[in-house]
Amino acid sequence: KEHWPHTQSAFYKSISHRSQFIVTMMRVLLSCCLVAMVMSDIDFGYHDYDALTAAMRAIEQNNSGIAYMYSAGKSVQGRDLWVMTLGEKPLQHLPLRPEVKYVGNMHGNEVVGREMLLH
């Protein structure tokens, strides 16, 4: 069963796997940009933990069909480590569907990554 209707096109079949991957990634990035445009009310400034949590909850609530927020565990300070999944079925892994993982703030003192992911 074909999961990606666009792969049926002659153009898509004629390009290399690498080019197909690039086309798919461009679509993912476009989707992320569209979500960011919808969430344009997020403040362009540093978000402390409480502001970050509130911004992520707002994204989840305003996009309830495609966004899901959950905790991946606790920090050494006992704070939740938030994860946001976006997609048609955010709670399911769909075989043969490409997935992308963006990680911001891998280390606690690197705040720029998480701010970039919010916008």
pLDDT value of position 11: 62
Q: In the numeric block, which tokens belong to residue 54?
A: 């509130």
pLDDT value of position 10: 63
The amino acid sitting at 118 is L
Can you tell me whether residue 85 is helix, strand or coil? strand
Tens of pLDDT along 9-56? Answer: 666 566 777 777 787 888 888 777 777 666 666 667 788 889 989 988
Distance CA 62, CA 59 (A): 5
Tens of pLDDT along 57-69? Answer: 998 998 888 889 9
pLDDT value of position 1: 45
Where in the chain are the domains? 5-118
Q: Is the pLDDT higher at 43 or at 7?
A: 43
Instruction: Write out the H or E segment, with its range, that includes residue 74.
Output: strand 67-74
What's this model's pTM, rounded to 2 decimal places? 0.60
Query: Longest Cα pair distance anywhere in the chain, in angstroms?
Result: 54
